[in-house]
Structure 1
Amino acid sequence: MNASKTYGIDISFEELKLPLFHDVLVLAKNAVQGKLGLGRSLDLLAPGVFQSIDTEVESERIEAVFINRKLLTKIPVEHLMRVLQRHVFEYVGEGELIQVDMKVRISMHNINE
């Protein structure tokens, strides 16, 4: 008996977006990458793009935060860290690397020259 065979192939693809295009990377404690490893990787892929912020004082679960320097031209690091602490850090699990995209809108009203 000759059985006929059919094959099906499903394929999908999308543009690869490396961490360099994100605004903030939050590294939890016990992550595989580690603070130094991730820092070196980011420096190789995008030299000078990210600034590393130690967070051991601010959060016991977060080892480091890497912030895109372009974002820091718009928002002071202290303010940004308060926002992350209030709205992001509590959702980061042990060992995770979380990417955070932020949309910053600056509005100015009643400007007099």
Structure 2
Amino acid sequence: MMLNKPNSTSDAGDSHTQFVELPELTPEAPAGPALLAGGSGLLDGVKVSLSVVVGHAHTTLGELLALKQSALLKIDRAVDTPVDVMVDGNVVARGQLVVVDDNFGVRITDVAPALRG
């Protein structure tokens, strides 16, 4: 699957958008240590909100208010940079953005050292 990014020049004239190909994945058994290796069963039912951060963009309020449909915001990460997996604002893992069926997903590539068993 490809992200639909038009192949055109932005209004600034110095950046080009391009198609980004994400690997299509089929479910497979995870390998390696668990994120919370040795964790207590008492915590298994605790719900948390997990976020995946692709990157950040810095702009002025004026530029933000002037945004229109099809405007482009360039974020601070290269296409091949891992995404951050965060819980309550803290990075707990990093991974690769992928496509699973018709949804985005994250293949975990690194777990935060403080959480390893």
TM-score range, shorter chain: under 0.3
Structure with the largest fraction of strand: 2
Normalised by the length of structure 1, the TM-score is 0.25
Structure with the largest fraction of helix: 1
Normalised by the length of structure 2, the TM-score is 0.24
Q: Whose radius of gyration is greater, 1 or 2?
A: 1
Q: Which has the higher contact order (CA 8 A, sep 6+)?
A: 1
